[in-house]
Every structure is written in structure tokens, then in C-alpha cells.
Structure 1
């Protein structure tokens, strides 16, 4: 009996074998050189330039948003610099009819999906208009509750499957979000029903101030998808080509009825967790900052495109100036939006007022009319 157990019972070896299989998928290295030619998506020159344009534009949007926040002209804001490849290259693999269920750091994806920038600014301010999506835009408002979008994405994906739609629901969270119960419930539900969902974990190394290695004893977050029976991959999240390929592959399999996927993108946020008082210098060293600065997705992609003769300093300057102009116009439009009132909040909540609110509503109508 003991001999049979020794031959067939080695849980630790099974764990090690699974973990060892998760090697990071990369196409474009830190020097902007293709190191995995077979996996190169061979995007057209126009597509490569468009993806770079979106990344540069979003970096400027992040810089301006931080400045606006410090001026008191924005409310809640979670910086995105460093995660442009993870966010925008994954979005670039989607179709317009796909659904996005973002976390609070994932505003860039929904802006490029069609959310007007001025509404994104209003979302930051907590204005209800910022959560009113234009007709035909398949986006849910950014989720503030950590990980809750994973359960919602599983439900939306199942709905798409039941309708026979050839589309996917994609959602994002960070490495900290993978410690939430909703994360496990979402991937398990989607896996059980083979729902066309794409779950992305942007592993930016720190859940606020908690380093990734304290989040879980698992060697990778990607391996957690195996327990839910779904295809999972670990990707260089600073490599836009690798992120694009991984997401497109996940989408192709999902619409072909092969079920959901979990993608862990290894990346880094250069700024604080949010602008609400977080100080990353208290938990991150200059050494790790410098290490990841050398992996900057925009610098990497710039080198690659310049080598192909597709990008130049002049082109980048044009994108930067365009971004500044459009951001200025968007914040002006947000400023001109009527301030929300107490009566707006009540009216948006209730179609028919309960009796206990009727009197209060009349009081505020009178106050607001003065």
C-alpha cells in the first residue's frame, strides 16, 4: 500500500509541474526587437501606428488627469502610466459589439471603445451623467468594488451565449482583485457554462501597497484559471504585440464556443494606486521603479516602429498636441455640464417616489428653484 502511494501520490510534484508550464509569453523585447517571429501578429503598418497613437495619447491623458486632479478639477482618479500595452493592446483585439466591464483604472479602454472623454471626466467627479453610456456603446460603468466586475462579466458573457451573439465580454482587475471571492466565482461560473468571457488580471506588482508575493503563494495568477477549467496564459504586459495576440486568441476561441480565458499581464503602474493619498515611495524602492522604467511599453514600441520607419519624433509630437487639445475641450465641456442636484439623484433612483420621500423632494425642488 505504502509503495503504491509513493508511486502515484505526489501533490507537490503536480503543483510544480503546473506552475512550471506558465512561462511568460513575449513577442517584442525591451529593446524593441521581435524575439518570437512565429507569434508576430503581422498587423498592418496602419494598425501598428494606430495602436501606438492610442498608447501615446493615453499617456498624455494620464499626465493631464493627474494635473487636473491636483488642481481640484477631477475627483477620483487611478493613474494608468505603464499599463498602456496591457490596456490598449487588449482592447485593440476586440470588436465594437463586444462588451467591456472595466475596473476603476480601465477608463482608457472604454474611452477608445466610444465613451466621450468629457463623460469620463464627469465619472471621475462622481456626476451621474458620467455613467450614462451613449446608445449602442457596450460598456458598463467602471466598477469601484474590487473584483465585482468579474461576476458581472460572467453573467454578461452567458447572456451573449444564450442570444447566439458572436461577441465576448471582457473584464479587468489587478493582482489584488484576484484575491477577492468574486474573482473565483466569476471564472468558475464562466468556465462551467463555457461563457464567452475574457478575464484579464493586470498584475502591476502591488495591490495598493501590498506586493504581489504577499497576495498569494501561487507562482502565477494565471494558473488559478486552471482550477476553473479555463485556458490561461501569462503574458508580458509591457509588450503590446504579445497582449494583442493573447487577447485575440482568447476572443477567437470564445466566439467559437470554446469558453472563457484568463490572461495575466505582467506590468507596472508608474504612479500611485490612486490620487487619493497613496504614496508609492513608502512601499516601492527606486531600484524596482528603475527596473520597470526600462520596460516602458511606449519606449519599447517606439523603438520597434522607428526601426520599421513608421514612427518619428514629429509624429509623436502631433499626437501629443492633439491629445492636449482634445483634453482641454473635454474638460471645458465637463465644466459646462449642469451640476447635479439632490432632485436629480432622487429622480434617477425612483420612477415613483415613495411617500416618505415625496415631502423631501418638494422641499429640495423649492430650494433648488431659488
Structure 2
């Protein structure tokens, strides 16, 4: 089946165009937007890891290596669309408009970290694997019933394709021809399990055949391939033609989370041949006259300042209200939980 789903690519590892038909569609604004957002989320990501190591942030899921997949896809969205992320898709949600300070708060276990801007439809990150896929199909169904042009995108990893939610979500979207794009980031591992040990299919894209929907396999480290193919899928959905399954083949550079040690299950040199997505874009910029050293330096300073300001905002947030642990769970609090709350508040009062 692999030959039926060839890897779509626009630039190669050296940053040269391999599909000249896109040359006229790539302009300075798009190149600069892709670079800015990819650098921005990488800066955020590396800062988050440092904060976790310093005890200033909780357990964190790194995204380095997947910037092109997340930025390329989210930049193609319209403001009224829906985003259903996993715990590793904060690069996509930040690019789509979620604040970095709120994202830091999420990784500190704060409920405020789940709050999206009022003008963006971003669901809280799904930690249970694949549960966001039926949610995205449901939101798309609602938009179809309302008669809007809005679409939904569900982000998920390769391990999610082994869950029932994946099949239920795709089947439902196919039956009702819903405006939703299922965006898989195949980074080679479902936590510590390599893809060849958790599925027997040659590709994830081929799973689209079961639901009679388009399936696309692309180079997830090629930001242009991601942007244009995802935009094409969005246009397909907005036109009433139903869902698309996209497999973006990429690579998770670091650990599954900061509580994980990938050296225990990944060969030491695995992934070394994969060219960094940001470096590939930089090579393209130099090859085709988009590189501007002054702009690059200014962008690095800007993204660094943005991240530092977000850290400062996060750390100035008032302490969490301990009553949140008990409240807003039940319409009427059970007696046992009320007793626990009273006992805990009494304990705090004695400190």
C-alpha cells in the first residue's frame, strides 16, 4: 500500500524546491510567517524544558522536531475554525492564537491553562489518547448543521490510530461527510513503542480507505508541504466534500515527556539523518533570496522577549484556589466530598 501513498514534498533536505509548481505560491509573507512561528514555538519549547528542570514547571511534553507539522497546519486555519489538540500540540495552539502564558499555566497544572482566547475555538489538550477525534467530528457536525464554512482539525499521534476513538471518529465523519481534517503526526513512537510494533499497516494514510475518504501522506518536516496540503484539505472540507486523513511523517527529537528517558527504548543514533525542519526552512530562505540577516536577528530577539514575558506573566499569576479541587465537579456536591473539603480547609486554617 505504501506506493499508493507517496510522500508529498515541496522542498528537499537541502532546501531546494522539488515541486516547481509551488514556486509562484510561495511569497515573502508566507516564508516569514512560517519562520517566525516555528522559531517562536521552538523558543517556547526549550524554555519550558528549562523551567521544568528548575522546578518552575510541571511535567512537560516537548515538541521539538515537529514545528513544521504544527505551524504549517495551524497557519492554514481560519479564525472561526476549531482546534482539538493533544498534549503535544501546544505549538499548533499557540500559532493559532492561544497565549503562551496560559500554555505555561497548563503545564503547571492550572485550570486557567485550559482557557482559550474568546475569539478562538480551542479545546483543552486531550491527554487520554484519541478522545479528541470524536469531539472534532462532533464540532464539525454542529458547524455543518449551522450552515457555516467553519471546519475542525483533530491532531493526534500514531498511537491514537490503535484506539477505537480513531475509527469511530473517522467513520462518523465519513458517514455524515463532515468538514473535519484528521491530522496525524507520525513521529515514529507511541510513547516508547515503535510504530511497527503497534500497527501492521505500511502507512497511516492508507487507513482512509476503510472510510472512503481522501488519505494524504506528506513530509511533516517540510513546512510548505504541510501548509499547502492541509489548506487543500480545509478547502475540500469547506466545500462540503467531507473529511480528509493526513499523515505528516515527522520525528520527535526529545523525550516523550520530561519524565521519560528515550535512551531506554530508542537506538542512540536513530533520527540523526533527519534534517531539522527549521534548518530546512533556513536553507530554503538562503537558496531563494528570502534570507535577511537583520530580520532574522530581530525575529530571534522578538520571540525570546515574547517567551520571557510569558514566563513572567505566568509566575505573577495569583496562587490557585484550593477549593477548585472540590467545586464545579458535581451539580450537588456529595456528602463525602463535602466532608473532605471541610477537613482540608480546616487543615489549611491550622497552618
Provide structure 2 residue ranges, at least 5 long, that are not aligned to the other structure.
none
Q: How does 1:253-268 map to 2 (within 5 A)?
A: 253-268=236-251
State which of 282, 286, 299 in structure 2 corresponds to 1:319: 299
Aligned with 2:290 (options 310, 313, 321)? 310
Provide the residue aligned with 2:121 in structure 1: 138
Structure 2 counterpart of 1:182: 165
- Distance in structure 2 (CA, Å) of the matches to 1:318 and 1:348: 45
Question: What does residue 18 of structure 2 align with?
Answer: 35
Q: How does 1:162-173 map to 2 (within 5 A)?
A: 162-173=145-156
Matching residue within 1, 9, 23 for 1:26 = 9
1:53-101 deviation digits (Å, cap 9, x = unpaired): 1111111111111111111111131111111111100111111111000
- Over 3 Å counting, the alpha-carbon distance change for 1:68 and 1:129 in structure 2 is same
Match 1:129 to one of 112, 134, 144: 112
What's the secondary structure of 1:74's corresponding residue?
Answer: coil
Tell me which residue corresponds to 2:222: 239
* 1:151–1:182 contact (8 Å) kept in structure 2: yes
Contact 2:41–2:91 under 8 Å retained in 1: yes
Residue correspondence of structure 1 range 1-370 to structure 2 within 5 A: 18-40=1-23, 42-276=25-259, 278-292=260-274, 295-350=275-330, 352-365=332-345
Q: Work out the CA distance in 1 between the residues paired with 2:314 and 2:8.
A: 41
- Which one has a bigger Cα radius of gyration? 1
Answer yes or no: is the 8 Å Cα contact 1:118–1:331 preserved in 2: yes
Give the Å deviation of 1:244. 0.8
CA apart distance, 1:201 = 0.9
Task: Deviation per CA, 1:121-178: give whole Å up to 9, x if none.
Answer: 1101111111122322200001000111111111111111111110111011111111
- Cα offset, 1:338, TM superposition: 1.9
Matched pairs, number? 350
Where 2:232 maps in the other structure, the secondary structure is: helix
TM-score after normalising by structure 1: 0.89
- Tell me the distance in 2 between the aligned counterparts of 1:250 and 1:19: 20
Q: Distance in 2 between matches of 1:359 and 1:279?
A: 40
Displacement over 6 Å in runs of 4+: none
Decide which moves more: 122-131 or 36-45. Answer: 36-45
**What is aligned with 1:12?**
none
Structure 1 pair 40/174, CA: closer, same or farther in 2 (3 Å)?
farther
1:40–1:148: structure 2 CA closer, same or farther, 3 Å change rule?
farther
Aligned mates of 2:198, 2:16 — CA distance in 1: 33
Contact 2:79 2:119 in 1 (8 A): no
Query: Distance between the aligned counterparts of 2:292 and 2:47, measured in 1?
Result: 23
2:75–2:96 CA contact under 8 A, matched in 1:
no
